[in-house]
Every structure is written in C-alpha cells, then in structure tokens.
A and B are shown apart, each in its own frame.
Chain A
Amino acid sequence: GQSLEQPSEVTAVEGAIVQINCTYQTSGFYGLSWYQQHDGGAPTFLSYNALDGLEETGRFSSFLSRSDSYGYLLLQELQMKDSASYFCAVATGKLIFGQGTTLQVKP
C-alpha cells in the first residue's frame, strides 16, 4: 500500500517563507505532486517532481529526493490568499493523497 505523512497545520506571516514536508512509502512510484485546495473548492495543481531536485514555479517550488522518499513544497512571499490546504500526492498509476496541511497566513 501507500502512505504519506505531512504536518497537519502550519502558520506563518505574510511575506514569509514556509516549507511543507512530505514523506511517503509506496511502490510503483512515478512522481510527487502538490495540490492546493481552498475551502469548498476542488484541488488545483501546483507542482510535480518526477526526478530528484528542485522545480520552481513562480512563488512556489517543490523538491524531491527519491532515495529518501521525501519531498517538500516551498512557498515564498506568502500572501493572505495562500491560506488553504496543501496536499502532497504520489503518482503510482493512480494519485494517492496525503492527509493535507492547513496553512494559515497571518497579517
């Protein structure tokens, strides 16, 4: 089976940088994705890592270490609108989600 672990909650202030970690155990691993979900909405795709290293997309970056079964999402220059839930998900032929991290951005 698959299992993913990420922190349940993170709090940060506007303008700061926050890192959300994700560790996983799985078989048939293709890559690690990150999704953002606001209350009542569908998940929106943020980033995907198939290979080790850092992927940068604007204020968001994601990192993967396949040997460590570990990844993280880095959010820079935090804005109030970044307050949401963030999910890591492993792609194994299907997409399995972690439990999610609730990010609260404070003024």
Chain B
Amino acid sequence: GAVVSQHPSWVICKSGTSVKIECRSLDFQATTMFWYRQFPKQSLMLMATSNEGSKATYEQGVEKDKFLINHASLTLSTLTVTSAHPEDSSFYICSARDQGVRAGYTFGSGTRLTVV
C-alpha cells in the first residue's frame, strides 16, 4: 500500500532556531501534500496544502513566513518551522493524496517537536 515516510519522528530544538521536517511518498507520486498540527488532547488542524511546483496554500491564521513549506518534487514536501518558540511545540503530521488509496489520503507517522 501507499506509504508516507516522515522524518524526524521527534526533535528538540532551542528557542530561536529553525527545524525542518520532511515528508516523502515512498511508492507513489504525490502532487498534493498536507501539513497538520496537533496539540495535546486536541484535533488535527490543517495548516497548509502544498502542491508540487507551486506555492503552498495556508489556512487562515497560519503564519506563512513562520511555517515555510516546500514541495519541490512529486515525492517530497518539507515544513520548516522558523525561529521556533516554545508555543510551537506540537505534533506535526503530513499527509499525501494518493488516488490509488481508498479515501485518498495517507499519513506520515508524525514529528514531535519540542522547543526549549
């Protein structure tokens, strides 16, 4: 089946630094990928939709300059949290659209970001 690989699975960084999270579709081409953020005991909140070769579309309230998304190939999308602060600590999950999968969405395993 379709597999989405997300790395790293967890990361600790100092306040003010930047962190990059990678999301790869391993056995299919993903023209569209999605990035979610999830705080403890809350739902998955869609941050942005990235389309290969074009700018990402951000959901309302998400700072595009803080959360940089790059979707440079059909199998890779990256999310960079710039100038991270403790309030950015969260669980970040990517998802890729795969028409070959029932319901069409495959999720990565998530990245636990802790900013200290």
A interface, CB within 8 angstroms of B: 31, 33, 40-45, 48, 87, 91, 94-100
The answer to whether B46 and A96 touch across the interface, beta carbons within 8 angstroms, is yes
Q: Is B49 an interface residue (CB 8 A)?
A: yes
Q: Do B108 and A91 have beta carbons less than 8 Å apart?
A: no
Q: CA separation between A97 and B107, bound complex, in Å? A: 13
Neighbour of A31 across the interface among B43, B46, B103, B110, CB < 8 A: B103
Q: Which of B80-116 contact A (CB under 8 A)?
A: 93, 95, 102-110, 112
For the complex, is B62 an interface residue (Cβ under 8 Å from A)? no
Q: How many residues of B contact A (CB 8 A)?
A: 20
Our count of residue pairs bridging A and B at CB distance below 8 angstroms stands at 45
Closest CB in chain A relative to B35 CB, distance in Å: 11
| A91 and B103 within 8 A (CB) | yes
Say yes or no: is B34 at the interface (Cβ < 8 Å to chain A). Answer: yes
Cα separation A43 to B106 with both chains bound (whole Å): 9
Q: Are A45 and B43 in contact (CB under 8 A)?
A: no
Chain A contact surface mostly: strand
Verify if B44 is at the interface (C-beta below 8 Å from A). Answer: yes
| Cβ 8 A contact of A42, one of B34, B45, B93 | B93
Residue of B34, B43, B93, B106 near A100 (CB, 8 A) is B43
Contact A97–B102 (Cβ < 8 Å): no
Other than the given A41-B110, A42-B93, 8 more pairs (CB < 8 A) read A33-B103, A41-B109, A42-B109, A48-B102, A87-B44, A97-B36, A98-B43, A100-B43
- Identity of the chain B residue whose Cβ is nearest the Cβ of A32 in the assembled complex: B103
For residue A45, which residues in chain B have a CB less than 8 angstroms away from its CB? 102-103, 105-107
A33 close to B46 (CB less than 8 A): no
**Shortest Cβ distance from residue A99 to the other chain B in the assembled complex, whole angstroms:** 5
Q: Check if A42 sits within 8 Å of B107, measured CB to CB.
A: yes
Partner of B46, one of A40, A41, A44, A94: A94
